[in-house]
Amino acid sequence: MVQVFPYESLSTADLIVDAIYEGQEGGQLAGEPLSHLLAGIGNLGGFRSSGKGEDKNLVVLNSSGEDRDWPDTLDLSTGRFFYYGDNKRPGHDLHTTHKGGNRILRRVFDMLHGDPPIRNRIPPFLIFTKHSTRLSARSFQFRGLAVPGYPNLPATEDLIAIWKTTDGNRFQNYLATFSILDVPRVTRAWLDDLRDGNQDSRHRPLAWKDWVDTGSYAILKSEGTITIRERDAQLPDSPTKCAILEVVWEHFQDQPTAFEAFAARLYGIHDQRVIIDEVTRTTRDGGRDAYGRYLLGLHEDPIYAEFSLEAKCYRPPLNGERGHSVGVRQVARLISRIRHRQFGVLVTTSYVGRQAYEEIREDRHPIVFICGKDIVDILTTSGLNTPAMVKSFLIEEFPLAREAANGHD
């Protein structure tokens, strides 16, 4: 069971991975837990730092998990944390934000990639995510001690500036990659030393010390024990995301075979190593709607894993509708088409039924499921984060027969 630290104990508490740090009862701003847990960091914002000047003593990154435009992501299996900077609205330069978060990111990644690196001046990053409790909606969960970068990730890829558009106005923000170190407990003694500016504290965790001294990443990785996603985990979890999925479903519902080209494109958007060789014609597809290759190895000397893709444009259970799930028969059809050393991809606007999902995972069939939630997440991450933007994209890139006819009137 996850440990919960009550608000009254926060000023002396250690930081334990995945423990909950509870806000004061009632959820008022004055009872916000992080500022009580870590004195001097303030009580607002995703970026909160301790220390004056450019070199910070520590930095807190907290994520609500509710920002559809900037979806911070923690991959528990790899220990990789993706965090968006704080220039999230048009009208400002990339680095002129109120909290100065993007300036912090630029500085620490510059020091990380210096010649030589200056890791001893990079502050520890403490990662928190919102985790409401019965007593307080302002409670947070500690996800780990992080450092900038990731093993073998090039300097050109661990901090990138991306363009987005809001209301016709373009602007940039950072996407930063961090590594969660294998430090199950951050002691209060070290936190107190950091607050006082003692970077050479004898209470430093070993994984942190090794990274500062040698650049070696000892990463906290965890293999998931749950491999079956329940129905709700396969479907969007916010009104806006549900509306985006509804737009996709409504666009293709009368011509579901047109969904095949979209499904193939979507898989390619998700991973640049995907190569779509052909979207097959309905009359000769032999049970697969597209096929392609997944790039492995070096670009100069590649090898490929072949895959078959099937697309199921089924009604999702939205707006009170019951919905239509992908069942055992549909999944078995894809399995029967997969040859030796191939894998399968099934894309659906709905969800995969539990029995079908269980059989696939228990029998270890190499099938990738991309369900309603995944479709929305892929579109959102690519910058198509509103129903109107998705609708315009579909009309332009995947015009249906009725729309094409209207265009010639």
Residue 307 tokens read as 């895959």
Note the pLDDT of residue 405.
46
What secondary structure does DSSP assign to 36-73, as a single string? HHSTTS-SSSSEEEESSSSS-SEEEEEE-S--SSS--E
Nearest-angstrom CA–CA distance, 317 and 321: 5
Note the pLDDT of residue 296.
93
Among 314, 315, 259, residue whose Cα is nearest residue 290 = 259
Per-residue model confidence as pLDDT tens digits over 227-280? 789 999 999 988 889 999 999 999 999 988 889 999 999 999 999 999 999 998
| Equal CATH topology for 4-214 and 231-406 | no
Determine contact, residues 212/120, Cβ cutoff 8 Å. yes
Domain residue spans of the chain: 4-214, 231-406
The topology (CATH level 3) of 231-406 is: Trna Endonuclease; Chain: A, domain 1 (3.40.1350)
**Residues 27, 32, 33, 35, Cα dihedral to 10°:** 180
Per-residue model confidence as pLDDT tens digits over 122-169? 999 999 999 888 888 889 999 999 999 999 999 999 999 988 777 778
Which of helix, strand or coil describes residue 281? coil
How many CB atoms lie under 10 A from the CB of residue 359? 15
Question: CATH class for domain 4-214?
Answer: mainly beta
Nearest-angstrom CA–CA distance, 275 and 254: 28
Among 64, 165, 161, residue whose Cα is nearest residue 388 = 165
Which of helix, strand or coil describes residue 384? coil
Determine contact, residues 289/256, Cβ cutoff 8 Å. no
Nearest-angstrom CA–CA distance, 143 and 72: 13
Paired residues of 82 in beta bridges: 73, 177
Note the pLDDT of residue 46.
80
Per-residue pLDDT of the chain (409 residues; tens, 9 = 90+): 789 999 999 999 999 999 999 998 876 777 789 988 998 887 677 889 988 888 899 999 999 876 767 888 899 999 999 999 988 888 888 988 878 899 999 999 999 999 999 999 999 999 999 988 888 888 999 999 999 999 999 999 999 998 877 777 888 899 999 999 999 999 999 999 999 989 899 999 999 999 999 999 999 998 766 578 999 999 998 888 999 999 999 999 998 888 999 999 999 999 999 999 999 865 444 446 899 999 998 888 999 999 999 999 999 999 888 899 999 999 999 999 898 899 999 999 999 999 999 999 988 899 999 999 999 999 988 888 889 999 999 999 999 865 444 544 3
Which of helix, strand or coil describes residue 81? strand
